[in-house]
Amino acid sequence: MRVIDLGADVAYVDGLACMRATMERIDDDGPALILIEHRPTITITRRGGTHAFVSPRALIEADGIDVVEADRGGDVTFHGPGQLTAYPILRLGPTSLGCDVVGYVRALEAAIVDVVVALGVPSARSIEGRDHEGHFLTGVWCDAVGDETTGCNSSPPGDEHVDNSPTRAALSVNSSPPGDEHVDNSPTREALSVNSIAALAFGPQAASSGLRARSHAVEMRRAKLAAIGVGLGGGVTRHGFALNVSTHLEHYTRHIVPCGLQESVTSLERLLARTPSMREVKARVVDVAAPQLQGWHRRL
């Protein structure tokens, strides 16, 4: 399976152009896996539209985020620096001849789970269930401590408002008051992380070894780590998955409800004592996921 690494700071439309060109040449060049870090982009679908927008489109675009309609399944999602987006381009065959699109999506989930577990998140998993419109839930989820996730409509780091709601562990100061203008005055995450607590309680080696401080007061919640949205054209797959590595999540969640779900999202950076480099994550995807996905390719 060929790997096409487009690098970082790629405009979403340029990634789409590469994807479509690769689809057109699949029978000459074979299956491929395109890896990209997009510029800040929020994608919508024909099915979902902008129903999950919290901010007006003009405000989103003024915040430096492109808004693009994508020809894939699923709902609104985001792409940007620190997130690995992958497009497996495979010939599944026509649905009229028994092409198993649902099976392919589940295989994609399983491959991502294997990647994430290999990177050090043993709770990674897909989940059963349906969304508010009755569609199957897709993606990869994991268990996370409350301050390592961001819920919908979170404000940028640096806001001084403390969220004392019972649904969030009071370990961070990332929530905004109503009417916040979404101005990010802090380039770094100021919240005290559980990792920092581990270092203070047990020494620096505790955090570096991945040990997490836990107590009965620490809230655990399910959080989405990777989103999946695929399409099929002429029996060939398009789009794929987006895995949050070190994504500035609040840049997007203050504007949208990701995937149209009232759930938390997280990243490897928030889950692990040491954030893997994008190079490491790409290597895991190529070594672990690509061989599993290549088995779904059918030659004409």
pLDDT for the residue numbered 133 = 60
Q: Any idea which of 68-77, 188-197, 212-221, 267-276 has the lowest mean pLDDT?
A: 188-197
Closest CA to 131 of 40, 57, 51, 68: 51
pLDDT for the residue numbered 293 = 96
Query: CB pairs under 8 A, 24+ apart, for 53-57?
Result: 53/255, 53/256, 54/152, 54/153, 54/254, 54/255, 54/256, 54/257, 55/182, 55/254, 55/255, 55/256
Indicate the pLDDT class of residue 71, thresholds 50, 70 and 90.
Answer: confident
71 or 115, which is more confident: 115
Catalogue the active-site residues. 259
pTM here? 0.75
Helix (H, G, I), strand (E, B) or coil at 79: strand
Domain ranges of the chain: 2-146+219-294
87 or 54, which is more confident: 87
Q: What is the pLDDT of residues 235-274, one digit of tens each?
A: 999 999 999 999 998 887 777 775 555 678 899 999 999 9
pLDDT for the residue numbered 195 = 45
Q: What is the pLDDT of residues 16-42, one digit of tens each?
A: 999 999 999 999 999 999 999 999 998
Indicate the pLDDT class of residue 153, thresholds 50, 70 and 90.
Answer: low
> At the top level of CATH, which class does the domain 2-146+219-294 belong to?
alpha beta
Residue 181 identity: E
